A and B are shown apart, each in its own frame.
Chain A
Amino acid sequence: MYFYRINAYIFLQLEPRYINSIYISIPLNQFMQTKLELYQKVMPLANLGIWERNLLTGEMYWNEVVRKIYDVDEDYGPTIEGSVSAYVDQVAILQLIDDAMQSHELITGEYQIRTSKGQLKWVKIRVSSDYDGNQCRVLYGTIEDVTEKINLVHKLAEHQEQFHQAFEWAPIGMALVSLQGEWLRVNKMLCQILDRSEQELLAKTFQEITYPDDLELDMEQMHDLLEGKISSYHMEKRYLYKNGAVIWASLHVTLVRNQDGSPLYFISQIKDISEQKAMELERINTLEVITRQNERLLNFAHIVSHNLRSHAGNIQMLADIIPKESDPMEREEMINMIGINAANLQETLMHLNEVVNVHGHRQFNVKSLNLSKEIYRTIATLSESFKQAEANIVVQQEGEIEINYDPAYMESILLNLLTNSIKYRNPDRALELTIRITEYQHQIILEIQDNGLGMDLSLHGHKLFGMYKTFHGNEDARGVGLFLVKNQVEAMGGKISAESTPGVGTTFKIEFTKLYNEKA
């Protein structure tokens, strides 16, 4: 016969109603005894401490694992006070015991203890209770050293918090993106960059807010990343604001895979580079302006070299031969010629001055002009010439188009182009003139199409807008008009081009910049 005696002590802190229970000893049969032995052998293997406390007798039992956890000797007589006092948070452990006695259920908790040797440990406690009627008779349970696990959990939590903080407050936009492109998590900076709230972003895919032209390259690289062809990718791309405006970003994407290598989600890092892009664009624009100015300068040097020199040369040659001329009639004729040459020289200088003025004056007298009204006024000015040319003029436009422009330049541009259509008309047919005004994005486009002589631009195209370049051999062609027009158009941020077919006609196209005012 074997008696399993339970060491029990009265738990003084407990309320009196739990204390008047009966002491029992449990007789165990042979089978149970074997089981108990097995039990006592196995528990240490599992590092599981078991304990029991009899609330009536105050007796308490610990197995050797419990002693090890508390760092006490084999002969240590466990007391409830002793064990409770080991807990760092004694109120909490007493609460646990109290709960266990009242709830009739298994209660668990994890607590920190200070062992008899002063070591801090985390323990997991399971407490159950036996009842005699309403009265709690016995408390029993397990205790387990979970220090390593808890430390690990704490460390993990710490790392998670570090990641969270780093992610949330990173100075660049960061996001976890699903394999389908949904935003799974986004940080504050990303919300700021894309000008959307977290909820707004999480409801979208990155595809939905990518500038359409940049989507294909992004998707291609994303595909390569999924297939393992590349380990990450970087690109400059555009996203769309809610209002459709474009934002430039530098995107860096990596892929997170699970242990067996299947893809989980993307980590995207997104930097706002709109400012850089704007500067880059500005640089390109500046370069273009400088290149154009350089071209003009070269052209100007050429004009000075060629046109001024030819007049000066003639004068010099005349001066050389006049003294040798014996015929007084011829002499007088030559002296006349010097006068004509001087006048030509003067005229050339005047033209050059006009050109210099176009580029010298940065302050334009900009006014809001109704483009079609300006056109009709120019047509009226030239009405006599148009009548002689039996001109049929059609003006096409979509609504009234206003443009901010220098009125003097507009007049010069229209007058020159319309005069050209008269000068170089085909004498064999009536002049057909079609003037089209269209608006396209930030531009107003003016096209003037005639059915005149036309010209072979493969021969003359490169010098069509050059100074003193004439093509038709007309007596009144001075080669100044188109040169001036080009300079005036470009000075105000526009462009001029021409298409022409000999015998069919010519179309001049001017792209006016609507934003001229904002730029200036």
Chain B
Amino acid sequence: MKKPEIACIIDDDKMFTYILSKQMKEIDFCKDLLVFHNGLEAINYIKPVLESAESLPDVILLDLNMPVMDGWQFLDEFVKLKLSKKITLYIVSSSIDEADHEKALSYEAVSHFYIKPISKENLIGMLEEIQAV
């Protein structure tokens, strides 16, 4: 697989999304980047475009602690969706709680749990994993 066309960040911390998008740009992580500030915004985007694979993100970086719809609620909605293409999903959270890690990895859809801060190396690791599939 080639590198992702569309990446998606779901995180309410605007500072973090700004910095992360900078880093992504630097290593040319993807062509297009979608940023949502809670799970609901992301679901509202994804649901109408389920059938059009070209609009769906290839990779999602999901925070856990968010208002309105948090990462867990998003995951519960996400796994119900009938996706027309493979979406790789990473949790990117500052939680170092073991219980959160175990719970996250119990979702088949979750590929990896990254603890903030995210380094350039982390992003390169993600790219390699996506391209290896």
Contacts and interface: CB of A to CB of B under 8 A. Distances in A.
Nearest to B18: A337
Nearest to A310: B94
B26 A321 contact: yes
B88 interface: no
Given A305-B96, A306-B95, A337 B68 contact: no
B57 to A, nearest CB: 21
A477 interface: yes
Interface in A451-493: 459, 468-474, 477, 479
A317 B67 contact: no
Contacts of A306: 65, 93-95
A10 interface: no
17 contacts: A305-B97, A306-B94, A307-B94, A309-B94, A310-B116, A313-B118, A316-B117, A317-B23, A317-B119, A321-B26, A324-B26, A337-B19, A469-B67, A470-B67, A473-B38, A473-B68, A477-B67
A312 B13 CA distance: 13
B38 A309 contact: no
A469 B68 CA distance: 9
Contacts of A204: none
Secondary structure of the A contact surface, majority rule: helix
A283 interface: no
A22 B62 CA distance: 137
A352 to B, nearest CB: 15
Contact of B15 (A320, A337, A472): A337
Interface of B: 12-13, 15-16, 18-20, 22-23, 26, 37-38, 65, 67-69, 73, 93-97, 115-120
Nearest to A337: B15
Nearest to B40: A473
Interface string A261-280: 00000000000000000000
Given A340-B15, A471-B67, A317 B97 contact: no
> Which of A312, A341, A470 has the most chain B CB atoms inside 10 A of its CB?
A470
A471 B68 contact: yes
B120 A320 contact: yes
A318 interface: yes
B15 A309 contact: no
Contacts of A320: 117, 119-120
Contacts of A317: 16, 19-20, 23, 117-119
A474 B23 CA distance: 28
A479 B15 CA distance: 18
Nearest to B41: A473
B95 A468 contact: no
B19 A321 contact: yes
A344 B19 CA distance: 16
B70 to A, nearest CB: 8
